[in-house]
């Protein structure tokens, strides 16, 4: 049985916290800017800290789980699983449109290090994030347990 809770939470947070889509902290000219489709190293750092905080709250403190199928085989561990948190944060940072690459870019198919984004790039990067995260969490079963 697969736990889709971490995948759902990670993807929703990826979309909501992508700098420049809904909000950018800090913005280019103000501390907070809305829907400017811009990003920067500092805003990716700030949004990554917010992402880390929220994913820890949802996955570790609250313990959001979504199971499909029968609950008979359900065996929840009592230890905290940091795998979904750490994988989510690393992928969140690496897949921010404009940081390493934007697919598609604003003027080209692929742009590297432009620190700009667009709606299509956010959608493509979200799909990439979802695929990689789901593979690592649900198929490969990456877990990091602490007591």
Furthest CA-CA distance within the chain: 55
Task: Select from 94, 99, 91 the least CA-distant residue to 40.
Answer: 99
- For every one of its 147 residues, what pLDDT tens digit does the chain have, with 9 covering 90 and above? 678 889 999 999 999 999 999 999 999 899 999 999 999 999 999 999 999 999 999 998 888 877 766 555 555 556 678 889 999 999 999 999 999 999 999 889 999 999 999 999 999 999 999 999 999 999 998 878 775
Instruction: Give the global pTM.
Output: 0.85
C-alpha 14/C-alpha 11 separation (Å) is: 5
C-alpha 118/C-alpha 121 separation (Å) is: 5
Distance set, CA 44 to CA 53, 54, 62, 91, 144 (Å): 14, 15, 25, 12, 25
Domain ranges of the chain: 5-65+78-146
């Amino acid at each position: 049985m697969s736990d889709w809770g971490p995948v759902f939470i990670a993807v929703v947070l990826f979309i909501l916290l992508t700098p420049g889509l809904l909000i950018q902290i800090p913005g280019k000219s103000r501390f907070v800017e809305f829907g400017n489709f811009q990003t920067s190293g500092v805003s990716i750092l700030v949004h990554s800290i917010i992402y880390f905080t929220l994913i820890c709250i949802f996955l570790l403190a609250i313990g959001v789980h979504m199971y499909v199928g029968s609950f008979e085989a359900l065996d929840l561990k009592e230890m905290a699983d940091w795998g979904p948190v750490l994988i989510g944060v690393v992928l969140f940072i690496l897949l921010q449109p404009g940081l390493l690459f934007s697919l598609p870019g604003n003027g080209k198919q692929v742009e590297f290090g432009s620190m700009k984004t667009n709606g299509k790039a956010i959608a493509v990067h979200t799909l990439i994030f979802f695929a990689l995260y789901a593979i690592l969490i649900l198929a490969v079963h990456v877990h990091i347990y602490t007591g």
